[in-house]
Amino acid sequence: MSYLNKLLKRNVQKATLNKNVSLNATITTLIEDLKKRLSKYYIHYELSSKLQIFDNSSTQDRVENFPNLYLEIEDFLSLQPNEDFDKVNFRKKIKTTYSLLNEKDELRTIFIEDDETQKVILSQLFLKDVLIKSKDLLGDFTNPFLVEAEKLLVSSPLSFETITQQKASTILKELFEYSNLIQKRIQESLGLNAMLSIYNNAYNKHFNNYYLLDNFTITVNLVPEQLLVAENVNLPSKGQLHRLLKSQISSLEDINVKLSKEIFQKSQIQKELEDNEKLYSAVIHNSLDANVIFNVDGIIIRSNKKAAEFINAHENQINFYKLLPEDFSIKLKNTIDKFSLNTASGLEQEFFEFEVYENEETIYYNLKVNPIYINSKMLFFCVIRDISKDIRNIIRIEEARIIAEKSAKAKTTFLSNMSHEIRTPLNVILGLSELFNRKDFTGSDKEYENIEAIRFSTENLLMIVNDILDFSKIEAGKLNVQKVDFNFKELISNLHKGFRIKAEEKGLDFSMNITNSIPKYVVGDQYRLSQILNNLIGNSIKFTKKGFINVNITAKELEDKTIQLYFTIEDSGYGIPKENLDSIFESFYQSHHSEKKTEGTGLGLSITKELVSLLGGKLTVKSKVNVGTSFKFDLNYKVSDLSELELQNTQNINHNLRNKKILVAEDNRLNQLFIKQLLKKWDAETTIVSNGQEAVEIVKLHNFDLILMDIQMPVLDGLEATAAIRALEKEKKNIPIVACSADVFPESRQKAEEAGVNYYITKPISAKSINEILYLLTTSN
């Protein structure tokens, strides 16, 4: 370990020696170059002697004596009349050419361009010499301050790069203070004479090296006063002292200018503050709110014009709390007192409200309190606002809301009742007409044609009823969307068959083209899609006198088993004027044409646009008068996971109902007739009762596989009867119940589900809808 330490020490010494050798070579080269420039002049004896001594000096002496010799040469050249000599540029050139000079602070200091930075480094070098000479006498420092000073000035002095002009003055001031403390600590350790001797030696060395620098005079500020009056001290020249005095005067002038600017700025700020105070006072004084400042005891210190009216109304009361209603005043005072005593917080976030009864009228107020501190004294700033108009508006809005809700409820009740009254006979007409199919019908063709006409007219009437009800549900935001598996291509095929007959009756060409890539079965709302296409295609046929109606359906495959279907319905009809295009989707809008009388409710396109939007698509239209109209929309559907066999099984339900016992609770005799005939076709055993009470009693006595329950019945309605059946013993309470109602509103469906029904179907009841539900019920058992 000892050998290793010696080796490391030797390597450090070797590296230092190599560095000094390189620096010595640089200094020697520079002096030789300067001697060449001096050769054309007569050199005075003193400079000549210094050059000769330099040539015969050791490496260390050359480095130490370089500052003095270089500055003597520089001074000599500057005095020559034939020399175009500029010290600043000369030093810049030397600094660039002989870059190794920058490796040592004692040499680099000469070539610093910024005066303030040069002053800092000169002061730092001087104090460094003082500490080194002190340590030579004392050995290692024991005084904490001298240890810290050595670390700051000797071990890790400030680098040139960290000293900026802005920081230089501050650093110089600190160094002057450091010098005074260093003098004091050295005197305490060695005595006054030793301290003066150390400073004298350091100063003489410093003077010898740098006295020709203009900024050397800064060192005088670091020397003890006792030395400055001694005869043997090398003081700066009169010129340098003059420059020092001039610099200090200039510095004082700069300080004076800065102080003058600051005084002016402060006066401007003061004026702005006074102006702002006037403005603030004017704003507060004329505020529509009452503003009051009071102390912890409630005594009013200041108030604005509005508050003065409030105070005058209370016989010039000067206690803030006595301006307020008694109960509220006590509550507010307790809150503020707790805050004042630091036992509660959050006063700034609280809003208070109180009311006053005046002139047979209630006045409502809002009150906000904020603490303010003036000269360490806690005061409270309070804003009182009359909110009577706001409160009355809220009351009016609430009353209007209640009236609107009652109106909406009455409207819903009316539509529900109307729906029941209209759909009940429609249920019978459609149901009975569906029982006749072409192959089983034994009457004449004319009779079958009449039945079809009845069915078609009933469906049109049902469509109008549905439009009115859908419009009401859309307005109320209660239109629901179903997601069920359905046969998309069958739906399009049925639409094609129905509308082709209507189109041919008017002599129109009708076509529906569907891309082969569209799957047969998809998941979505079959009824809403059918409603959209019925409205758009029906409109095209209605407003086309001659020509064509084309329906094109294309598809784009998306991710996650989803397809995007694009629908286009175009015709060669009357067209829509450009100025009316934005109006056709408005409720109750009806198109007028000279050759076509106005028909319909004016709700079709409005509902269609809402339905497309509800299903996640967008409906657009383009039209030109006497050329035609084109409607386009797109919808996304999931591809069904069910197989074709599973979907087709719903058509074979009649085989599953043979000998099944079905209870029908229905008070309308025509509906009883239709349902009885329908179930008879499927070989089911049917029992019919006329009210809910009868249904409950017969269920207690007999077993049934299924109950079809009408909702609106006398004695006990369908929901009450369902709840009573669900309350029976286990064998009875699990009977599947299907609610049959003419009420299409979501609330009715929800109430039915809460009562315990398994499925809910709306009238008019089709054989297909009963078919599907019966299939689901029978296959689940």
CA angle 644, 645, 648 (to 5 degrees): 85
Whether the predicted pLDDT of 564 surpasses 50: yes
pLDDT the model gives residue 146: 80
Whether residue 694 is predicted with pLDDT greater than 90 in this model: the reply is yes
Q: What are the tens digits of pLDDT across the range 122-170?
A: 888 888 888 888 888 877 777 788 878 777 777 666 665 666 555 777 8
**How many whole angstroms separate alpha carbon 365 and alpha carbon 384?**
7
Q: Indicate the helix (H) or strand (E) that contains 552.
A: strand 548-557
Per-residue pLDDT, 567: 96
Two tokens, residue 73? 């040469």
Question: Encoding tokens for residue 4?
Answer: 């290793």
At residue 499, the pLDDT reads: 86
The CA-CA-CA angle for residues 587, 588, 594, to 5°, reads 130
Question: What is d(CA 722, CA 233) in angstroms, rounded to the nearest whole number?
Answer: 122
For 616, half-sphere exposure in the C-beta direction (CA atoms, 13 angstrom radius) is 13
The answer to whether the beta carbons of residues 611 and 531 sit under 8 Å apart is: yes
In tens, the pLDDT along 83-137 reads 777 888 888 888 888 888 888 888 888 888 888 888 888 888 888 888 888 888 8
Predicted TM-score (pTM) of the model is: 0.42
* Buried b or exposed e, range 536-569, using 16+ CB within 10 angstroms: bbbbbbbbbeeebbbbebebeeeeeeebebebbb
> Which helix (H) or strand (E) element contains residue 694?
helix 692-701
The confidence score (pLDDT) of residue 273 equals: 73
CA 524 to CA 513: how far, in whole Å?
A: 21
15 pLDDT exceeds 50?
no
303-314 tens-digit pLDDT: 888 877 766 666
Could you read off the pLDDT of 258-269 as tens digits, one per residue? 777 778 788 777
What confidence tier does 552 reach under pLDDT thresholds 50, 70, 90? very high
Residues belonging to the chain: 781
Paired tokens of 148: 């810290």
Q: Taking 80 as the threshold, does the pLDDT of residue 316 lie above it?
A: no
Q: What tens digit of pLDDT does each residue of 185-221 get?
A: 888 888 888 888 888 888 888 888 888 888 888 888 8
Tell me the C-alpha distance between 761 and 743, whole Å.
9
The pLDDT value given to residue 9: 45
* 601-639: pLDDT as tens digits: 456 688 888 889 889 999 999 999 989 999 999 999 999
* Strands 361-374 and 351-358, sheet pairing: antiparallel
The span from the first CA to the last CA of the chain, in angstroms, equals 95
Quickly list DSSP for 176-243.
HHHHHHHHHHHHHHH-HHHHHHHHHHHHHHHHHHHTTSGGGGGGGGGS-HHHHTSTTS-PPPHHHHHH
Angle between helices 2-38 and 59-79 (to 10 degrees): 20
Lowest mean pLDDT among 81-85, 507-511, 748-752: 81-85
Greater confidence (386 vs 415) lies with 386
Mean pLDDT of 324-334: 88
Contacts of 152 (CB under 8 A, 6+ apart): 178
